[in-house]
Structure formats: structure tokens, C-alpha cells
Amino acid sequence: MTQFKYSKRVPADGTDAVGAILQAAADPKIISFAGGLPAPELFPVKEMKAAVDKVFEEHGQEAMQYGAAKGVTALREVIQQHVKEKENVDSELDNVLVTTGSEQALDLVGKAFVDPGDTVLVEQPTYLCALDVFRSYGANFASVEMDALEEALKANPNTKLIYTVPNFQNPTGRTMTEERRKQLAELAEKYDVYVLEDNPYGEIRFAGQHVPAVKSFDKSGHVFYMSTFSKTLAPGFRLGWLVADKAVVNKLTVLKQSADLHTDNLAQFAVAQFFADNDVDAHVKEISALYGKRKDLMLEGIKKYFPEGVKYTDPEGGMFLWVEVPGVDDTVELFKECLKHDVAFVPGDPFFAGEVQPGAFRLNYSNMKEDQIEVGLKRLGAALTAAVNK
């Protein structure tokens, strides 16, 4: 049998723990809080069909032809206006790059800025797919609490990049304070490191007050801002974007051309048309209201069914909350036990760049119908109680 000589970037066999977990959780009898999926019943199917029909009528040939690697101009204008209105981020059109999902933005930044041995500072825990991307380019990681950022920068002088999810973070649901965001932008300039601000969930706020983007405090171009339409419209379009200095966008555009030439033209035209024809703010408010209701139901179930001493976050928006169970050492084994109770979550282990926090896991509330949330949490509470009392 042929022994294929893969590059060092290719993960070893058996390292797709999350894929295995999600596959196990896909059994229809299992109530799964594992996936990070939006609520499909809120996808604007009718409105998007109308947008696509109009695109074919008015831009059919252009939408079906090869396009610019930076993206369709109409969509880049939408993004430019959007970040100004929502995040107080001033930009020119040349600062905007459309990507094939926000995952491509992560990959392009990793490819452009991370050399083997460079240090990437990350929150603890942090988005697991970002860890996978930066690891594939040879990054070393330093996990840091953002209130100790300057000490971490002094201790890691070869830091190239700081990665942060400041709003309703995946996996914890927590939000960075405005003061810490200002400090982050200032330290990036002071130490000449780059910040990749990942904001996929920021619009989905159902409590509290909006906090300005880190990018809005950036005076030197050290902050790169990325987001996506996956959480507010539909993930299947695979449309994300990055706002950065023109020179950075130009370099990333060259790298993007070698990856996919350009992002799907039809999807870009359709989303631009959707913004022109619909009240997008009203649509996002509907999403936020539903997710807030489901989050509240999840917290009620946790309080009702989980054993004493369990800690959990109470996010003001987004799609996830984080649970810590004292007395549980192996969350992967706990996951297997929960499957026997027909309920699933994502173990915390893959979200840590360094030492893993035992007994921690992520729950998703956006994708589960209300009547199933309590049933699932009752099952999960029974499994946790059995694990704690072993």
C-alpha cells in the first residue's frame, strides 16, 4: 500500500476530534447542542429567491462570468457601509476584501503573516478552527487573558499576531470590554504586532449595550477586522470579508487568487441585492430575539437540572455558552457518557492551545427548538450528576 508523503501542514490521522464528535451527535435520537449552526427557520428563503431572480434579470451574464478576486463591487460597498454604521470603522473600497467564508480570511491571514516559529497570542479558550489554521502554518501559541496582554507581549517578543473574538466569543460567549479593546489597539501599535479581530456574532445581541470594534480604535493599521454573513443571512453562501490596510488587502488578494480565483459571484450579487431590497436590521432583530429566548431557556434548564457547583456563562448575544463541571477530569469521556443519555455537546479540549481545562464544554442554543432544549438539558443534567457522583 502506498505511503503518501504529506506535508507537515497536514494533520495526523485521528486528529479530527470535532468531526468525530459531530458525527456521533448526528444520530436523530440524540438532542445535540454540539453544532454551531444558525436556526434554519429564520433563513430568508423567499426574499433571497426574489433577490436571485432580480440578479439574473439585471446582472445574469456578469454573475455567471469570472469576477474580481477582491469581490463584487456592489457587495464591497455594502460591507464598507455596514462596518461604518455598525462598528464606526472608516474604510475605502480598497480596504475591503470578500472571502469564501470567514474561514478563508483566517487562512489568508495565517498564510500571509505566520512563519514557522512565530508566536500567535490567543484567548483561553478560543475558536478551535483558528487554532487549526495557525497551527498548519507552524505557529507557536501563547494563551493569554487580555488583561495581561502587555506582559504576554513582553514575554513573547517574536509574537506576530494576536487573534481575538471580542463579541460573544466562541466558545465561551463572553464579551471584551471597551477599555480592553482600546488597550489592545494601542499595544498592537506599540509592539508592532497585528490583531486579527474576528466578529461573526457581533450583530446578534439580545442584551446589554453595543461595544465598538477593536478596529474602531486602530490608528496605525495594525488591526484587521473580519466578519461573515453566515450568522445573519445563511452559512451556505460562504461569504465573509476582511477590512484592513490597502497594502494588506492587496497581498491577501494575490494569495486568494491562487486559492480560488474569486468567491462565488452569484452569491455576492444576491446578497448585495438582498441588502438593497430588505430591512436587514429587522431580520437581525428577529434572529436576536429568538436566540435570546433560547439562551434563557437553556439557563433555566441548567439551573433546574445540573448538579450543584456547575459554573456557566450568561452571554449577551451570539450562539454559545460555556459550562465548567468541577470534579470531572475527562470531558471527552463525559461526552461518551452523555451519548448514552441521547444528548451531546462539544468537549472543551479542542478549544485550548495549551493546557486543557478539565470538565469544560460548549453548548449551542441557536439551533435547537424550544421544546427540545429542556428535554436535552434534563438528559444532560442526569449524565453530569452520574459523572460527578462516580
Count other Cβ atoms within 10 Å, centred on residue 84: 13
Averaged pLDDT score across all residues of the chain? 94
Q: Express each pLDDT in 151-193 by its tens digit.
A: 999 999 999 999 999 999 999 999 999 999 999 999 999 999 9
For residue 27, what pLDDT is reported? 78
Q: Where are the alpha helices (DSSP H) in 349-388?
A: 370-388
Decide if pLDDT at 234 tops 90. yes
For residue 293, what pLDDT is reported? 98
Decide if pLDDT at 294 tops 70. yes
For the chain, helix (H) and strand (E) counts, in that order, are: 12, 13
The residue whose grid cell reads 494575490 is 254
Higher pLDDT, 4 or 270: 270
| Confidence tier at 146 by pLDDT (50, 70, 90) | confident
| Confidence tier at 327 by pLDDT (50, 70, 90) | confident
Can you tell me the mean pLDDT for 337-345?
91
For residue 178, what pLDDT is reported? 97
Q: Strand pairing partners for 119?
A: 140, 159
Task: Name every residue whose Cβ is closer than 8 Å to that of residue 199 and which is 6 or more positions away in sequence.
Answer: 87, 165, 166, 167, 213, 225, 226, 227
Q: How far apart are the first and last CA of the chain?
A: 45
159-164 and 194-198 beta bridge pairing: parallel
Decide if pLDDT at 14 tops 70. no
For residue 377, what pLDDT is reported? 97
For residue 21, what pLDDT is reported? 66
Decide if pLDDT at 147 tops 90. no
Decide if pLDDT at 145 tops 70. yes
To the nearest 10°, the Cα dihedral for 88, 90, 95, 100? 20
| Confidence tier at 22 by pLDDT (50, 70, 90) | low
The residue whose grid cell reads 427540545 is 372
Decide if pLDDT at 13 tops 80. no
